[in-house]
Structure 1
Amino acid sequence: MTKVKSDRTHYVSPRATDNVEGFSMKKPDHPIDLPDIGSVRPRSTDAIESSNWMLGCETLDRDYADYHQYKEYISALGIKVLRMQGGWAKTEKVQGIYDWTWMDNIIHDAVDRGFMPWLQTGYGNPIYPGGGGENLGAGMPLSHEALTAYENWVAAMVSRYKEKVKDWEVWNEPNFSDNLVNTPEITADFNIRTATIIKSIQPDARISALALGHIDIEYVERFFLYLNEKKATGLFHNVTYHDYVYNPDANKLAVYKMKQIVEQYAPGMIMRQGENGAPSVGGTGGALSDYNWSELTQAKWDVRRMLENLGNDMECSIFGIIDMNYSGNGPIRRKNTKGIIESASDNQAVRPKIAFYAIQHVTSIFDHTLERLKTLKHTHQIASRGSRPAYSINTDRSISVYGYRNKATQKQLYAMWADDAIPRDKYEPKYLEFSVENGNFDDPVYVDIITGGVYEIPAEQQSIVGDIYTFKNIPVYDSPILVADRSLISMK
C-alpha cells in the first residue's frame, strides 16, 4: 500500500482500511538513548478476545459525526465495545411513527464487523409537550404524555435490537449545568423506569446507570440512596461517570470517594469511565477547550487516562473516534476536536491523529491476558523479602507506577509516567532508577507508548540482587513508558 506523509510525526494510508498494518506511525523526533529493536505491532479487533477498552461513537443521533465515514478505521484500534446514543428525536419525528433506517444501518454494520454496540436511551423529543430536549444538557421527559412516549420508544428499540445489543445506558450527564430540574432523585427514578423496561424485554441486558457529567459526590450519594430505598441497584451492571480534568491523573480522590459510595450501596458494582478524552486543538468546543492543546498532548492525555483507569480497576471508554461538528442550539456550537481521527466540516474522515496510534499501542499490549499486581506498593528503599511486590524509584516527583503479569507465564510488565502536571507538548525525560522486588523477566525491554518504539535495556543498565531487579537511567516522562518482558510485546 502506498503511504503518504501527512505531517512531521506520522504517516497514514491515503484511505481507510481494516488492515492494522495500513496504519503505521513514524516515531517522533524525541531521541530515546537506548538501542532500537522494533515497534509495537497493532492488533485488530478480531485478534483480541476481550479488554478494558471501549470507544466513543457518540452524536450520530444529531449528525455531528457519520459512522459510515469512519467505520473502516475501528477494527485497527483493537476495541470491541462502541458507545452510541439511541436518538429518540431522530427516530420518531412524527408521533407514533418510528423510522429505524439510520440506526439499522449502523447497528447491523457494527455487529457484522465484530463490534458490540453500547446503546444509550437518550436524548428527549420536543415533538411531545414536556418531552425534554435532544441536545447535551437538555432536560429529561417529565410530562405523563412524554414519559409514556419515551417508554414506548425504549421498548420498541430494545425489542428491535435485543439480539444484537446487550449493553445499554440511561440518559447522558443528567447533572450537567443546564439540567437543574434533574435532581438525583428524579434521575434515579428515570434510571429505574428505563432499566425496568429494558429488563422486561431483555433479562440478560447489561445496563449502565447514571452517566454522571462530572463527579458530584452529593449527587452520587442521593442517587444511590434512592436506588437502595427502591431496592433497584440490582437492575444495573455498572455505573458510569465522565470526568474531564486538565491533568488526567488529578481526579483520583474524587473517583475514590465515588467508589466508596457505590460500594456502600451496591457492593461489587463495576465502575466505568464512560466518556473521556482531550482536544487536539485549543480553543475549540466542549470540555477542556480553553487550553493550548496539540495532537501530542491529546495523545499523552488519552493514554495516561486509559492506563490510570486500568490501574485502578475502572473500565474505560475513549471519547471519541472522530472530531464532532457540533451545530444547532446545544451548549457546544463548535467542532469538538477530542476525536482521534480528524474530520472535515462535512464529517468525512481526514486522517488518524497521534492519539489513534498511541491507543493502538495500549490495546495491543493490555488485554485479558494480563492481570494487575494489586498489592504493588511503593517504598523508598526495598528491604523486605516477602511475596508482596514492592518497587522504588529515585525521584521526589510524582510518578504513577502500575504492575501487571501475564496470567499464564507470570512474566511482568510495569507502566510508569510523571503524573503531576498537564501533558506538555515536548519530550522532557528524567533518567531514573527503577527497582522492583519479586520481578519476573527473561528479557526486559523498554516501550514508549506514544511512539510504539521498543528498545533494548543494555546489560550495564540492569542488575539483579536476589529477587530485586534494578533498571538504571530509564527515561521517564509525562506519558506512559513500560519496562516489560519482551514476550508480552507483540512486535513488528
Structure 2
Amino acid sequence: MTEIRSHRVYYASPRSSDNIEGVTSKKPEVKMNLPYIGSVKPRHTDEIESSNWMIGCETLDRDYANYHEYKEYIAPLGIKVLRMQGGWAKTEKVHGIYDWSWLDQIIDDAVERGFKPWLQTGYGNPIYPGGGGENLGAGMPISPEALAAYEKWVAAMVTRYKDKVKDWEVWNEPNFGDNTVNTPEITADFNVRTAAIIKEIQPDTKISALALGHIDLDYVEQFFRFLSEKNATGLFHNVTYHDYVYNPDSNKLAVYKMRQIVDKYAPGMIMRQGENGAPSVGGAGGAIGDYPWCEFTQAKWNVRRMLENLGNDIECSVFSIIDMNYSGNGPIRRKNTKGIIESASDNTAVRPKIAYYAIQHVTSVFDHTLERIKGLRHLHHIASAGSAPAYSFNTDRSVSVYGYCNKASNKHVYAIWMDEATPRADHEMKSLDFQVANAKLDAPVVVELITGGIYEIPAEQWSKEGDTYTFRNIPVYDSPILIADRSLIRIR
C-alpha cells in the first residue's frame, strides 16, 4: 500500500554543505492527501544556464546588510543575477578621491562564484551642494557641480567594472512616496545622461530604465515621451518597475497598461519587475508592512509573484536575499524583513526562511529549458478547444493557470493557484477537478512548491482521452502547485 501523508521538510544552513538538508526551527507542513514520492532537488547556480530570476542584494552601499555574511547562500539558491547599488557616497567621501575597496571585494567575489552583478548607479552624494541624498526617496544630483562629479564617478565605475558587470540600472524609485523633486522629465534626462556615459565606455551592455517605485501611468507616459523626443529609447535594454501590493496577483491590469505605454514609444522593450517581495513579520518596516505576515505567507507571496511574472513574460527580481537593518535618516528606520534569510541586528546571517527553500524549488523547475505555452486559456467546455491549449476547473473561484513546455522533450508542466486574495497563513486546500486539452504528460505528478513535496496522482484520480487529461480531486490552494510530467522534476 502506498502511504498517503503530509510532507514536512527539514532544513539546514548551506554553510556546511551546498546540499541543504538537516533541521531548523521552521518546519512548514502542507497536507496534500496524495501518495508522497519525494521532494524537489534544488539546483546549484552552475547547474543552470539561465532563467527568469534575479535576487536583490541591495543596501550594501549603506551598510544595512553585509554581502560576506550571505554570499555562501546564493549559489544553492540557483539564481545567477544579483541586483546591487554602486554607492557613490560610500565610494567618494572626499572630493575626487574614490575608494573602491568595499565594492571590489563584492564584485570580484560574485563574479568568481559565477554570479552576474546588476549594478545601479545611485544614490546621490551630499558632499556636493545639490548632490542629492544617499537614501531611498532622495533627490537626484541637480547642481552643475554635482552633476559633473556624478558623471565622473559613473565613468570611473563603468571603466573599472566593464569586464565584470554587463547589466546596469540608473536610479532607484525616482517617484518614491511624495517625492516632487524627481519629475518624470528630470528623471528621464538623468537616465539619458547616465546611459550615454555607460554606452560610450561599454557599448554592448544592458541598461535598465526608470526603476519605478510604484506604477504611476502618467509618470511612465511622460518619461517615455521625453526619451522618444530625444531619440534615446535605444539606449535602454529594459524598463524596470517595483510594485508592492498585498495580493501579488492584483496588479496585472496596471502592468498591462504600463506595457502598452512602453510599447507605444519603445516597441518590444523588455519589462522587468526589478524589486518585489513581502515581509516575514507583521508590522515591520517598508512597503505592505501593515499585514500579519509570517514566513509561510511571505513564501506564498514570493512564489506567486515569481510565477505570475514568468507567466506574463516579465523578468523578476526577488527582494531581498537577507533582512536589512535600516538606520540613519531615511524613510525606513527599522529592520526590513523582506529578506529570505533572517539577519541579526549586526547584519550576521542567522538562517534561511521558508521562502528561501520555496524559491529553490521554483528555480529547480523553471529555467531556460522551458518555454511558455502561449494562448493557454480557460474554456468551460473543454471539447470546444480544438487544437488550441485550454483548461477548465469545476469552480467559479479565481484560479491562475500557466503552462510550460520543455523545448527538448515537449513534455508539459502547469502551475496552478488560487489568486483572489492576499496569501493566508493557513494550509487549507480545495479539492478541484482540472481538465487540460492538448497536454503532453506521460507520467503526471503533483508538486507543492513551498515544501517541494512531489506526489503521485492515483490511477482512479486521472484519465486521458486523446491529448485531453482530466484530474479529479486535486488539492489546490493560495500557493502554486504544479501538475507536471515527472521527467521535468528533479527528485531527491
Question: What is the number of residues matched between the two proteins?
Answer: 485
- Deviation string 1:431-481 (CA, Å, 9 cap, x unpaired) is 000001111111000000011000000110011122210000000000000
How far apart are the structure 2 equivalents of 1:193 and 1:88?
A: 16
How far apart are the structure 1 equivalents of 2:287 and 2:27?
A: 29
- Deviation string 1:142-167 (CA, Å, 9 cap, x unpaired) is 00000000000000000000000000
Map of 1:440 onto structure 2: 440
How far apart are the structure 1 equivalents of 2:138 and 2:327?
A: 15
Give the 3 Å change call, closer, same or farther, for CA 207–15 of structure 1 in structure 2. Answer: closer
Give the 3 Å change call, closer, same or farther, for CA 269–441 of structure 1 in structure 2. Answer: same
One-letter amino acid of the counterpart of residue 20, structure 1: N
> Any residues of structure 2 matched to 1:42-61 within 5 Å, and which?
42-61=42-61
Give the 3 Å change call, closer, same or farther, for CA 401–60 of structure 1 in structure 2. Answer: same
SS at match of 1:285: coil
Map of 1:123 onto structure 2: 123
How far apart are the structure 2 equivalents of 1:360 and 1:82?
A: 15
Give the 3 Å change call, closer, same or farther, for CA 445–220 of structure 1 in structure 2. Answer: same
How far apart are the structure 2 equivalents of 1:49 and 1:260?
A: 31
One-letter amino acid of the counterpart of residue 231, structure 2: K
How far apart are the structure 1 equivalents of 2:134 and 2:9?
A: 38
How far apart are the structure 2 equivalents of 1:9 and 1:461?
A: 24
- Post-superposition shift, 1:29? 2.8
Map of 1:148 onto structure 2: 148
One-letter amino acid of the counterpart of residue 446, structure 1: V
After superposition, the CA RMSD in angstroms is 1.4
Map of 2:369 onto structure 1: 369
Map of 2:80 onto structure 1: 80
How far apart are the structure 2 equivalents of 1:146 and 1:178?
A: 23
- Post-superposition shift, 1:384? 2.5
Kept in 1, the 8 Å contact 2:111–2:117? The answer is yes
- Post-superposition shift, 1:30? 2.8
How far apart are the structure 2 equivalents of 1:13 and 1:384?
A: 49
What percentage of aligned pairs have identical amino acids?
Answer: 76
Kept in 2, the 8 Å contact 1:138–1:178? The answer is no
One-letter amino acid of the counterpart of residue 199, structure 1: K
TM-score by length of 1: 0.97
How far apart are the structure 2 equivalents of 1:276 and 1:150?
A: 28
Kept in 1, the 8 Å contact 2:9–2:451? The answer is no
Map of 1:451 onto structure 2: 451
Give the 3 Å change call, closer, same or farther, for CA 24–405 of structure 1 in structure 2. Answer: farther
How far apart are the structure 2 equivalents of 1:199 and 1:24?
A: 48
Kept in 1, the 8 Å contact 2:11–2:20? The answer is no
How far apart are the structure 1 equivalents of 2:443 and 2:50?
A: 26
How far apart are the structure 2 equivalents of 1:14 and 1:417?
A: 29
Give the 3 Å change call, closer, same or farther, for CA 385–142 of structure 1 in structure 2. Answer: closer
How far apart are the structure 1 equivalents of 2:277 and 2:15?
A: 22
SS at match of 2:384: coil
Map of 2:409 onto structure 1: 409
- Post-superposition shift, 1:27? 6.3
SS at match of 1:32: coil
Kept in 1, the 8 Å contact 2:461–2:471? The answer is yes
Name stretches of at least 5 consecutive residues in structure 2 with no aligned partner: 1-6
SS at match of 2:309: helix
Kept in 1, the 8 Å contact 2:29–2:451? The answer is no
Q: Please state if 1:19 is matched with 2:18.
A: yes
Map of 1:4 onto structure 2: none
- Post-superposition shift, 1:14? 5.2
SS at match of 2:84: strand
One-letter amino acid of the counterpart of residue 302, structure 1: N
Map of 1:3 onto structure 2: none
- Post-superposition shift, 1:388? 1.2
SS at match of 1:383: helix
How far apart are the structure 2 equivalents of 1:331 and 1:341?
A: 23
- Post-superposition shift, 1:9? 6.7
One-letter amino acid of the counterpart of residue 247, structure 2: N
- Deviation string 1:73-125 (CA, Å, 9 cap, x unpaired) is 00000000000000000000000000000000000000000000000000000
Q: Please state if 1:165 is matched with 2:165.
A: yes
Name stretches of at least 5 consecutive residues in structure 1 with no aligned partner: 1-7
Kept in 2, the 8 Å contact 1:27–1:453? The answer is no
How far apart are the structure 2 equivalents of 1:471 and 1:142?
A: 61
- Post-superposition shift, 1:11? 3.7
One-letter amino acid of the counterpart of residue 51, structure 1: S
How far apart are the structure 2 equivalents of 1:325 and 1:378?
A: 45
- Deviation string 1:156-204 (CA, Å, 9 cap, x unpaired) is 0000000000000000000012421111011000000000000000001
TM-score by length of 2: 0.97
How far apart are the structure 1 equivalents of 2:330 and 2:38?
A: 46
Map of 2:384 onto structure 1: 384
Give the 3 Å change call, closer, same or farther, for CA 462–398 of structure 1 in structure 2. Answer: same
